[in-house]
Amino acid sequence: MDLLTTLAGFPNAVPLAGLDRAWTWSLGPVLHFAGAVTADGRRLLQTNQRGRHDEDLARAVLVFARRHEDALIEDGRPIAAVHGFSAAGYDFDAVASTAPEVHGHHRAQNPGLTAVTYIAFPAFGTEVSGRETLEEAQARYRTMLSPAEIGRDAVPFLKMSFGNPRTGGGSTGAARALTYPRMLRQEIPQLEGAPGGFVEWENRVGDVWRVEWDQGWVLSGGGEERRGLGVEEVLQFADGTLRARRPLRDPEEP
């Protein structure tokens, strides 16, 4: 497949100014796309925007993705991210990339293109762990992150399990599962007065904490246990764990 010829044939396609071997195209007034061929010419780095459109941001994402394409697409992860990105007017600090089996774009009209396309999008450093399974990467990309919305807020990576004998609420199974940060803030206060209940969570870098109620709040993790905290202190601590930014992929690393 000649990727450049394929890109040039997309609806409303024009070369992307300021980046070689790159094109931008659109489907109506809502869906906007840009793509750049990788250094070896065999794969496509594509970025999507829905609604609000910013070609400068699309170009910045593709420039960064091409510069770090080995880290974003070469190691076989279904979703990967590189920190150190910036774009004027935005708080994004990373670029993430999803593999073909995660995004499925072009499958209906050009399935051969799907297999060589990697979707790159502006992201936040707290959102991708690099340890996601294929199913988790699909959930993050397709449901949780809204990667084509360039005005979106961060959705930090969070896996959680919980059980509450007082309310009868609880997660399914023993394993922690992906969820939204609002669920963590919702379930922790519900533990008050519920001995035997717990909330356990894992952040992007793999740190795990647990909160229980035993005549007061008990917070444990990292081999330590803390008591005597108020619920607001526990919630503030939990929020802080989701902002942990020890990078898995840093452009300054060799």
Annotated domain spans of the chain: 3-144, 159-241
CA dihedral (140, 144, 148, 154) positive or negative: negative
Share of residues in the chain with pLDDT > 70 (%): 96
Return the pLDDT at 174.
79
Return the pLDDT at 244.
78
Higher-confidence residue: 254 or 219? 219
The partner residues of 34 in beta bridges, in order of sequence, read: 24, 47
CA distance 29 to 49: 11
pLDDT (mean) for 163-175: 88
Place of tokens 């004027």: 88
Identity of the amino acid at 58:
A
Question: Using an 8 Å Cβ cutoff, are 193 and 215 in contact?
Answer: no
DSSP codes of every residue in 143-210: IIS-TT-TTPPP----EEEEE-TTT--B-SSSS-EE--HHHHHHHTGGGTT-TT-EEEEE-TT--EEE
CA distance 136 to 139: 5
Name the residue among 100, 73, 111 with its Cα closest to residue 249. Answer: 73
Confidence of residue 107 (pLDDT cuts 50, 70, 90): confident
CA distance 85 to 204: 18
CA distance 237 to 231: 10
Name the residue among 226, 222, 232 with its Cα closest to residue 212. Answer: 226
Confidence of residue 216 (pLDDT cuts 50, 70, 90): very high
Return the pLDDT at 246.
62
Return the pLDDT at 252.
46
**pLDDT tens figures, 109-161:** 888 999 999 999 999 999 999 999 999 999 999 999 999 999 999 999 999 99
**Counting Cβ atoms within 10 Å, is residue 62 exposed (0-12), middle (13-18) or buried (19+)?**
buried
Instruction: Reduce the DSSP state of residue 41 to 3 states and report it.
Output: coil
Q: Which residues contact 153 (CB under 8 A, 6 or more apart)?
A: none
pTM confidence score: 0.91
